[in-house]
Amino acid sequence: MPRVHVTSEIGPLRAVLVHTPGAELVAVTPGNREDYLYDDIIDLDLAQREHRRFVAVLERFAEVYEVRDLLTELAARPEVREFLVTRALEVVPSDVLAKRLGELPPEDFVSLMIEGAMEEAVERVAAMPPGADRRSPAGVAPFTARVPGTGGTSMVNMRRNVPSVSKT
């Protein structure tokens, strides 16, 4: 794998990694927004419109890579899938979750890793073991734009590893 080699902070941008805001933002509530490093609740429709405009500008002069697409490619590789499932189970130990993650096609697997899971949220939170993250509706912090392997954190957003970022 080639190493990243940046020789200029002001040189032309050739490639950029983006994440389109999606259903993971639904998990951000007034009660947990600070945990996700947001100043306020995000309007999903507005965020998506602004993101599309931003990407359209970037595409004029740089190669734009979507996190979801790259993760879907990676999740199709058995060794990567095993690593991601193992890391997810460190956050939410569950045989049911392990089975579900193992059976999902790559696209659905990545969606679950990014967006978290909302179904049966109340029952799942009530059944969580002591120490589990109860702030997220499903107990699984969704993968967000500030986390994907680019910041040295794992593919699962474990708040203790989330770097601080500017909120816009």
CA 40 → CA 50, 141, 163, 166, distances in Å?
A: 17, 17, 18, 13
pLDDT of 31 > 70? The answer is yes
pLDDT of 33 > 50? The answer is yes
Summary mean pLDDT of the chain: 76
Strands, E assignment, 10-119: 15-18, 63-66
Cα separation, 18 vs 116, whole angstroms: 19
Instruction: Tell me the whole-structure pTM to 2 decimals.
Output: 0.63
Locus of tokens 């995000």: 42
Which carries the bigger pLDDT value, residue 21 or residue 6? 21
What digits encode the pLDDT tens for the residues 94-118? 888 888 888 999 999 999 888 887 5
pLDDT of 10 > 80? The answer is yes
Can you tell me whether residue 131 is helix, strand or coil? coil
| Nearest residue to 87 via CA among 153, 37, 136 | 153
